[in-house]
Amino acid sequence: MAEFLNILAIGLLLGGIYALVSVGLNLIFGVIRVVNFAQGEFVMLGMYGAFAAQTALRLDPYLAPVLVVPALFLLGCAVYWVLLRPLQGEPMMQVFATFGLLMVLENSVLAVTRGVSFSVGSVLSDTTIAIGPVQMPLARIIVLAAATVVAAGLGWWLRATMPGKAIRAVAQDRKAARLMGIPVERMYMVTFGVGAALAGLAGCLLSPLYSMSPQIGMNFIMPAFAVVVLGGLGSVRGAYVGGFIVGLTEALAGFYLDPALKHAVLFMVFIAVLIIRPSGLFGVAGAEEVGLREQS
């Protein structure tokens, strides 16, 4: 029983990582209807931002979001305005553009770092909390708590604030929103900026857990896509719950079957969910209804 509880704890903590990475990705898709292949690279930039903040300012990586999150928000806004806005109405070209952005960011960081791996430390990263027989690293608990706060806070922001309501209106009917005076392109820009900022936050909080390299974004983007589709495209709540489904599936399959089979088992679950419910667990069927509708 103690062994099983520890595996469950590992799965939940891993699910917190995937949920935190996936929320921003799902927000972008739910509003702009573009699959952002560069989301993992924004996480990578957040990690390097935490490293730069610690190296230059002696700032703990858990305090680095104060600087990194606004910087990634501005970068996301610039990327949308310069790269994606001219391709509005060409969804396939937008997908190719985000894939190109992935290559540009990855190779730019590779050129700057020469492929050298870096890591950051924190006074909290080596602390372990014991709850009965279960041992849980504090750094992963912080990520789990952050994923919960981000999902709840983003849901509240979309429901209760005027910018959030405007984003929901654009997600549900872009033409009607424009007729009501909502600046659609600006809302798209803000949405992409928020998605990039959330990826930067994830990168900062994950930096004490991983050795960073220019290719590390790929470790997160494939599970994040599985999370997004399982939970429901455009559903913030679905991204949160889907993260735990993916984390628990990987942990249980990796321990009880074979670590080499965990991704195979994950995608078997993935296919089964899509067969039973093609729109995902919390998605809404119908292309015209996809996007943050359940937040209303």
Residue 136, H or E segment: strand 134-137
Number of neighbours of residue 35 by Cβ within 10 angstroms: 17
Query: Are 195 and 234 in contact, with CB atoms under 8 Å apart?
Result: no
Query: Are 283 and 290 in contact, with CB atoms under 8 Å apart?
Result: yes
| SS3 label, residue 128 | strand
| SS3 label, residue 88 | coil
Instruction: Give residue-wise pLDDT tens across range 46-61.
Output: 999 999 999 999 999 9
Cα dist from 1 to 5, 103, 127, 137, 255, whole Å: 6, 45, 24, 20, 14
Q: Is the pLDDT of residue 290 over 50?
A: no
What is the arithmetic mean of pLDDT over 115-133?
Answer: 83
Q: Is the pLDDT of residue 20 over 60?
A: yes
> What's the pLDDT score for residue 137?
87
Taking the C-alpha atoms of residue 41 and residue 264, their distance in angstroms, rounded to an integer, is 24
Highest mean pLDDT among 190-204, 224-238, 268-282: 190-204
Widest CA span in the chain: 59
Query: Are 211 and 119 in contact, with CB atoms under 8 Å apart?
Result: yes
Which domains are assigned to the chain?
7-113+135-290 (1.10.3470)
Highest mean pLDDT among 78-87, 127-136, 221-230, 286-295: 78-87
Phi, psi torsion values for 130, nearest 5 degrees: -105, 125
Query: Are 199 and 24 in contact, with CB atoms under 8 Å apart?
Result: yes
Q: DSSP for 32-72, please give it.
A: H----TTHHHHHHHHHHHHHHHHHHH---TTTTHHHHHHHH
Highest mean pLDDT among 99-108, 135-144, 225-234, 243-252: 99-108
Q: Is the pLDDT of residue 111 over 80?
A: yes
Query: Are 34 and 28 in contact, with CB atoms under 8 Å apart?
Result: yes
- Copy the structure tokens of residue 56: 């230059």
- Copy the structure tokens of residue 192: 């992409």
Taking the C-alpha atoms of residue 21 and residue 36, their distance in angstroms, rounded to an integer, is 12
